[in-house]
Amino acid sequence: MAHSGINVLFSGSNFDRLLVGLWTSIWIAALSIIIGLLIGTIFGVLRTMPNKIIRCILRVYMEIFRILPSVVLLYLVYYILPRSLHINWPGTWMAVLAFSLWVAAEFSDIVRGALQSVPLAQKESGLALGLSKMQLFLYVLLPQAFKLELPATINLATRVIKTTSILMLISVMDVINVGQQIIEANNQKFPTGVFWVYGLIFFFYFILDYPLSVWAKSLMAKQK
Amino acid sequence: MDWTIIQQALPAYGHGFVLTVWLSLVGIIGSIIVGVIASLLQYFKTPILSQIATAYVELARNTPLLIQLFFLYYAFPVIGWRMSSITAGIIGLIFLGGGYMAEGFTGGFQGVTDSQINSGEALGMNRFQLARYVVFPQGFALSMPALAANVIFLIKETSIFTVIAIPELTNTALDLIGMYYRSNEYLLMLVIGYAIIMIPVILLLNWLERKVRYGAFGD
Amino acid sequence: MTEEILKVEHLNKFYGDWQALHDISFNLKKGEVLAILGPSGSGKSTLLRTLNGLENYKNGEIVFHGKKVQPSPKEWQAIRQKIGMVFQSYDLFPNLTVMQNILLAPTKVQKRDRAEVEQEAHHLLKRVNMDQYADTYPRELSGGQQQRVAIVRTLAMKPEVILLDEITASLDPEMVRGIEDIVKKLSENDHMTMILVTHQMNFAKRVADQVLFLEKGRIIEKTPCEQFFTEPQSERAQQFLTDMDF
């Protein structure tokens, strides 16, 4: 009985449609991670600077994202952008915006922590060579910080990938939304199709995230 | 901002708030229990059971809660396992959280230094005594930061319950926005609702982390 | 008349209410090697770090080549290209190879031609027997080897003065001699102007021309090296040398 449902995956263009949906999730995650890491690096560096006001603002920014669930963040962007700011973007862009801001907040904290754990002596020996502040960050502090923070960054990436599952809430045609459509369309013919479609999506997410978390874990074991 | 709208929505938010808190509590306690069991199975390398525990931890950590919930709530009835949305939510959250907690505890056990283990062995402790008196007390203390992060994470994950229509905070807000087409007031109340839960929790966890650390290592 | 390269006048430094340096004045001639000696906590390292702008000071003047140094980060950044510093813990950058460590400042700060600096770096590395390690990362080197690289890294900037802050203090005794030899040769062959802080009296005696004896943040005496170790002027210095078994 249940095994007949597997056919739903391969009837018509269903499998291809699921892959297209998956690709949407992947590029939204990838783009958000890239943008978020860039902004987060700048915020993280600023959070190690002496200026108290900037530090305080960025701290509050980070804490807001720590308090709010990503679903809520996504809906804030989804409703505020068009209704209060009259910006009408497609759902995919709004998702990239929400996720990027979230990644930036989390990454700023990772960068700050890593920068602070680079020994002070490294900073001084850079200064003693006449490096400017910018050069010091670019060639000495940030490369060392990135190495320290790589496992945490990979873990953040796995969370972003998992969080793309909420894209369906704002009607983005992601892998889950496509899956639901396929399930509804084939409910009569394949009543157990739901099992296979969600099973496949479960598997998709697992093969995206599992290698990354294994990588992060092995890096962490090496750092010990 | 229309204050009458906020006033009228207060009772609904009150219910959502209570439900979010209650589901979080049950989920966190269940996750800690499952996490402890799974991490112990992994620590003692119990044959077969430890492999199952490892497979479970990896599956739970590397898949989204949303799809776990869809499986429980929409796919399981097809093979005859029917459950209420609340039951599905709690099982899903514990499945997810148990994996995260287990990983945190295992990390804590592994963080206990070799010199501590060696000095226990030098005192003639066997494997279980070593675990009972050295690895677990220090390991749980070391896993406190991970535990704290998981608690915060799990509370926020209850917002995903909206996809199976559990009327917690997020679902309440989305319902009201859908019905009355007022987003500013309802979103503000939603944000404040989470702030009321999260800020005390974060402060409490910070305090607890310091206390446990001081109790175990004196610094 | 040899040229005066660095002059310190009435320098005072505070940490909060506590005064770390009291009215420090001395000068340094081109090619001179000055050893700053004194008991622990006498302010030797603080003084050295002040001369590289790593510590600020409340009042007094640092004059470099007859020009008063403005205590601003920008000015110090420029001066540091002329006043190099080597530290006790070497502090090579772990993310860069030996060669990259050496090239970084000359190419990025001084914007010199990369090929030319690289050639020079090889030459300098050969002088300290480290050329075969050019592409090695610091973590694969011993402390003594790292310190040799750190000295080369500073030399590659073509500084006019080098500050040496306890550069042999973290090293195995058998490595110390090699580092001392390098410093000695820098003085004899290259007439490099240097200020060194050390706890090792032998090191100071071997390489220094002048000794600045410091106690509790005050200069007690400034004496030619040979005289300092045979007949120091102050009682405190005599006591210090006795305590050091000298």
Which domains does chain B show, CATH number per domain?
3-217 (1.10.3720.10)
DSSP at A9: G
Residues of A in contact with B75 (CB under 8 A): 194-195, 198-199
Identify the segments of chain A with pLDDT beneath 70: 1-3, 224
Closest CA to B153 of B98, B108, B190, B107: B98
The answer to the question of residue C148 being in a domain is no
The CATH code of the domain that includes C227 is 3.40.50.300
Closest CA to A82 of A174, A170, A163: A170
| Token couple for B201 | 């929790």
The answer to the question of residue C117 being in a domain is no
Distance CA C224, CA C200 (A): 17
The answer to the question of residue C161 being in a domain is no
| Token couple for A76 | 């804030």
Contact indicator for A50, A120 with CB cutoff of 8 Å: no
Helices (H), chain B: 3-43, 49-61, 65-70, 85-111, 114-122, 127-130, 136-142, 144-157, 169-180, 184-217
Q: Which residues contact B176 (CB under 8 A, 6 or more apart)?
A: B9, B12, B182, B186
Which member of C81, C93, C95 has the closest CB to residue A130?
C81
Cβ–Cβ contacts within 10 Å for residue A215, how many?
A: 15
- The per-residue pLDDT for range A169-219, each reduced to its tens digit, is 988 888 999 888 888 888 777 778 888 889 999 999 999 999 999 999 999
Contact indicator for B13, B189 with CB cutoff of 8 Å: yes
Residues of A in contact with C94 (CB under 8 A): 144
Which domains does chain A show, CATH number per domain?
2-223 (1.10.3720.10)
DSSP sequence for B137-157: HHHHHHTHHHHHHHHHHHHHH
Q: Do A130 and C157 touch (CB under 8 A)?
A: yes
What are the Cα distances from residue C142, in Å, to C99, C126, C145, C150? 16, 17, 5, 12
DSSP at C69: P
Task: Please tell me if residue B202 touches chain A, with a CB cutoff of 8 Å.
Answer: yes
The answer to the question of residue C6 being in a domain is yes
Q: Do A72 and B59 touch (CB under 8 A)?
A: no
The answer to the question of residue C140 being in a domain is no
| Token couple for A214 | 């294994």
Residues of A in contact with B58 (CB under 8 A): 210, 213
Which member of A124, A127, A139 has the closest CB to residue C104?
A139
Contact indicator for B124, B155 with CB cutoff of 8 Å: no
Closest CA to C102 of C165, C148, C142: C148
Confidence at residue A1, expressed as pLDDT on a 0 to 100 scale: 47
Query: Mean pLDDT, 10 residues at a time, over chain B (219 residues)?
Result: 85 94 97 96 90 96 95 88 93 97 94 84 80 87 93 96 93 91 90 96 92 76
Cβ–Cβ contacts within 10 Å for residue C157, how many?
A: 23
The count of structural domains within chain C is 1
Confidence at residue A2, expressed as pLDDT on a 0 to 100 scale: 47
The answer to the question of residue C14 being in a domain is yes
Closest CA to A82 of B6, B179, B176, B184: B184
Residues of A in contact with C89 (CB under 8 A): 121
Residue matched to tokens 């502040």 = A133
Distance CA A218, CA C69 (A): 50
- The per-residue pLDDT for range C48-103, each reduced to its tens digit, is 999 998 888 888 999 999 899 988 888 888 898 899 999 999 899 999 999 999 99
Closest CA to C170 of C98, C244, C92: C92
Which member of B75, B159, B187 has the closest CB to residue A194?
B75
Confidence at residue C61, expressed as pLDDT on a 0 to 100 scale: 92
DSSP sequence for A128-176: HTT--HHHIIIIIIHHHHHHHHHHHHHHHHHHHHHHGGGGGGGT---HH
> Domain span at residue C27?
1-81+197-246
Q: Do C109 and A135 touch (CB under 8 A)?
A: yes
Query: Mean pLDDT, 10 residues at a time, over chain C (246 residues)?
Result: 85 90 93 93 92 88 91 87 91 92 91 94 94 94 93 94 93 89 93 94 93 93 92 90 84
Distance CA C42, CA B154 (A): 55
Confidence at residue B53, expressed as pLDDT on a 0 to 100 scale: 95
Reported ipTM = 0.89
